């Protein structure tokens, strides 16, 4: 954050309550964000305010030329190494550089995939050191083992469907045992570009504070709607920062995974990625998404409907999917509303739009709205926490 020049009243001594300091966070004079409305001669009140106010909201200190210590200025300008050239080519504080083939693995959560699964897997296999597939199909369907016979893909077979979150945790624990630094997270129906990892590594190298990167996301184009999964603002850079993103196509730093903890097993399938992204942000990590699509993603069956001459594509998920969506969203709101209120409001608006689409276009409306009501009720009750619960699939 660029330090602001002192307010003219502060340079004159700041006499009187009406003359205030400039808040470096709000760029407005006065008492914005609780950053003070008192002159600097009232030292006791200022000291107490500084102790209570977060560092990024503290008022500008006129006794320092730039508002920050010289050591911090040097580190911000020259990077952790103290050498000219910035932090762009310097590994992060955890000792992890940009994702490369030899330091990156892929974790794929699979449940009864189609015959093209092996071909899609080959597109990421040539970009990483190891591919780990977690098979949730159960003992009655071991088609994955037959499809991947003769390859060096490692398959973890579960006795029943444990959900996406548990499958990702199993694969990430195995990647940590292999001493890898990054893990590409994929769904079974995702098709990644052949140079996706290289282009994400470029984003890592270009970002001015790579030690803060917890997740690099490959923007995806939906096969159902043809739209980008994440729409970012236009910029000259090939990336933008986001609050949340989908799991598939994400490259997760295993150091951030160990610091933030595992995915929530009790979320089972829906909202796993949203909750984890918000948790990464709570732990101080950044999430960067590529501006261009680096993969295609099915993202549901996709049902086309016509409305006022326009074609509308709706998800048309099974009722149990909507149950998990709403149950887990209620939990996310409980955990992160105070920290991410704008995100929660936007997500709530999107859910309202989803309800309208269900009522207008989708099939089995009564079953879906019943599942939604049950999900909201269970989410508020909270008795499901720590176990999968709910619908069986």
Does 227 score more than 70 pLDDT?
yes
Does 204 score more than 90 pLDDT?
yes
Does 331 score more than 60 pLDDT?
yes
| 3-class SS of residue 12 | coil
| Cα–Cα distance measured from residue 364 to residue 235, given in angstroms and rounded to the nearest whole number | 42
* 269 and 313 belong to one structural domain: no
Query: Which pLDDT score, from 0 to 100, does residue 393 have?
Result: 43
Average pLDDT over residues 115-128: 94
Higher per-residue confidence, 298 vs 80 = 298
Encoding tokens for residue 154? 């490692």
In the chain, % of residues over pLDDT 90:
57
* 63 and 134 belong to one structural domain: no
Average pLDDT over residues 351-355: 94
Encoding tokens for residue 381? 């009750």
Q: Look at 117-131, 151-165, 207-221, 296-310 and tell me which has the smallest mean pLDDT.
A: 296-310
Contact status, residue 249 vs residue 297, Cβ threshold 8 Å: yes
Average pLDDT over residues 217-246: 80
Q: Identify the band that residue 113 occupies on the pLDDT scale cut at 50, 70 and 90.
A: very high
Query: Which pLDDT score, from 0 to 100, does residue 301 have?
Result: 57
Strand partners, 182: 104, 253
DSSP 48: H
* 275 and 159 belong to one structural domain: yes
pLDDT tens for residues 74-110? Answer: 444 334 433 333 333 334 444 579 999 999 999 999 9
Q: Averaging pLDDT over each range in 19-33, 138-152, 300-314, which range is the top one?
A: 138-152
| Cα–Cα distance measured from residue 361 to residue 306, given in angstroms and rounded to the nearest whole number | 9
This prediction's pTM: 0.74
Q: Give the CATH number for residue 124.
A: 3.90.550.60
Which is nearest to 38 in space by CA: 28, 48, 46?
A: 46
Encoding tokens for residue 359? 């009522």
* 45 and 21 belong to one structural domain: yes
State the sign of the Cα–Cα–Cα–Cα dihedral 52, 58, 62, 63. Answer: positive
Higher per-residue confidence, 308 vs 248 = 248
| Cα–Cα distance measured from residue 220 to residue 95, given in angstroms and rounded to the nearest whole number | 29
Pick from 49, 68, 87: which residue ends a domain? 68
Helix (H) or strand (E) holding 275: helix 272-282
* 219 and 362 belong to one structural domain: no
For the purposes of burial, counting CB atoms within 10 Å of the CB of 50, is it exposed (0-12), middle (13-18) or buried (19 or more)?
A: middle
| Cα–Cα distance measured from residue 181 to residue 214, given in angstroms and rounded to the nearest whole number | 11
pLDDT tens for residues 12-60? Answer: 444 444 443 333 333 443 333 334 333 334 344 434 444 444 444 333 3
Pick from 244, 269, 297: which residue ends a domain? 297
* 285 and 324 belong to one structural domain: no
Pick from 245, 266, 297: which residue ends a domain? 297
Which residues contact residue 227 at a Cβ distance below 8 angstroms, ignoring those fewer than 6 apart? 221
Query: Which pLDDT score, from 0 to 100, does residue 314 have?
Result: 79
Q: Is residue 386 part of a domain?
A: no
For tokens 């951030």, the residue is 256
Number of domains in the chain: 3
Q: Is residue 211 part of a domain?
A: yes
Query: Which pLDDT score, from 0 to 100, does residue 150 have?
Result: 84
Q: Identify the band that residue 273 occupies on the pLDDT scale cut at 50, 70 and 90.
A: very high
Q: Identify the band that residue 135 occupies on the pLDDT scale cut at 50, 70 and 90.
A: very high
Q: Is residue 2 part of a domain?
A: no
| Cα–Cα distance measured from residue 362 to residue 377, given in angstroms and rounded to the nearest whole number | 23
Q: Is residue 38 part of a domain?
A: yes
Which residues contact residue 65 at a Cβ distance below 8 angstroms, ignoring those fewer than 6 apart? none
Q: Identify the band that residue 139 occupies on the pLDDT scale cut at 50, 70 and 90.
A: confident
Q: Is residue 93 part of a domain?
A: no
* 222 and 207 belong to one structural domain: yes
* 167 and 239 belong to one structural domain: yes
* 284 and 333 belong to one structural domain: no
Crossing angle, helix 341-360 and helix 319-336, to 10 degrees? Answer: 160
| Cα–Cα distance measured from residue 331 to residue 327, given in angstroms and rounded to the nearest whole number | 7
Query: Which pLDDT score, from 0 to 100, does residue 308 have?
Result: 74
- How far from each other are the two terminal CA atoms of the chain, in whole angstroms? 49
Does 333 score more than 70 pLDDT?
yes
Q: Is residue 391 part of a domain?
A: no
* 137 and 259 belong to one structural domain: yes
CA-based radius of gyration for the chain? 24
Does 328 score more than 60 pLDDT?
yes
Does 351 score more than 80 pLDDT?
yes
Does 165 score more than 70 pLDDT?
yes
* 154 and 266 belong to one structural domain: yes
* 134 and 240 belong to one structural domain: yes
The string over 336-366, giving b where at least 16 C-beta atoms fall within 10 Å of a residue's C-beta and e elsewhere, is beeebeebbeebeeeeeebeebbeebbeeee
Query: Which pLDDT score, from 0 to 100, does residue 63 have?
Result: 36
Q: Can you spell out the DSSP letters for 318-343?
A: -HHHHHHHHHHHHHHHHHHTTT-HHH
Contact status, residue 184 vs residue 128, Cβ threshold 8 Å: yes
Contact status, residue 169 vs residue 266, Cβ threshold 8 Å: no
| Cα–Cα distance measured from residue 65 to residue 61, given in angstroms and rounded to the nearest whole number | 8
Q: Is residue 90 part of a domain?
A: no
Q: Is residue 40 part of a domain?
A: yes
Question: Residue 373: which domain range?
Answer: 303-381
């Amino acid at each position: 954050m660029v330090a602001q020049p002192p307010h003219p009243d502060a340079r004159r001594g700041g006499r009187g309550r009406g003359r205030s300091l400039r808040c470096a966070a709000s760029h407005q004079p006065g008492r914005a964000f609780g950053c003070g409305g008192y002159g600097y001669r009232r030292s006791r009140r200022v000291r107490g305010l500084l102790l209570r106010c977060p560092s990024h909201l503290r008022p500008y200190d006129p006794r320092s030329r730039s508002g920050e210590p010289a050591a911090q200025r040097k580190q911000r300008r020259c990077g952790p190494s103290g050498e000219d050239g910035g932090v762009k080519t310097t590994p992060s504080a955890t000792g992890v550089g940009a994702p490369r083939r030899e330091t990156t693995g892929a974790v794929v959560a699979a449940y009864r995939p189609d015959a093209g699964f092996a071909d899609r897997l080959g597109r990421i296999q040539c970009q990483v050191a190891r591919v780990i597939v977690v098979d949730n199909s159960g003992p009655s369907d071991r088609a994955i083992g037959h499809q991947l016979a003769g390859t060096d893909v490692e398959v973890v077979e579960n006795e029943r469907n444990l959900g996406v979150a548990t499958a990702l945790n199993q694969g990430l624990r195995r990647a940590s045992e292999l001493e890898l630094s990054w893990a590409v997270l994929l769904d079974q129906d995702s098709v990644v570009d052949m140079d996706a990892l290289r282009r994400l590594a470029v984003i890592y190298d270009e970002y001015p504070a790579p030690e803060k990167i917890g997740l690099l996301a490959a923007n995806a184009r939906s096969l159902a709607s043809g739209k980008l999964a994440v729409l970012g603002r236009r910029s000259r850079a090939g990336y933008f920062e986001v609050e949340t993103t989908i799991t598939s196509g994400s490259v997760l730093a295993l150091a951030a995974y160990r610091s933030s903890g595992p995915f929530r097993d009790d979320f089972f399938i829906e909202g796993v990625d949203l909750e984890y992204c918000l948790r990464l942000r709570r732990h101080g990590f950044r999430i960067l998404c590529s501006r261009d699509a680096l993969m295609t993603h099915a993202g549901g069956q996709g049902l086309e409907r016509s409305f006022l001459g326009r074609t509308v594509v709706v998800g048309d998920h099974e009722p149990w999917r909507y149950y998990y969506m709403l149950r887990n969203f209620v939990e996310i709101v409980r955990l992160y509303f105070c920290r991410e209120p704008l995100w929660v409001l936007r997500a709530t608006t999107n859910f309202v739009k989803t309800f309208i689409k269900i009522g207008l276009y989708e099939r089995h409306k009564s079953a879906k709205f019943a599942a939604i009501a049950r999900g909201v009720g269970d989410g508020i009750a909270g008795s499901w926490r720590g176990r999968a619960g709910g619908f069986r699939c």
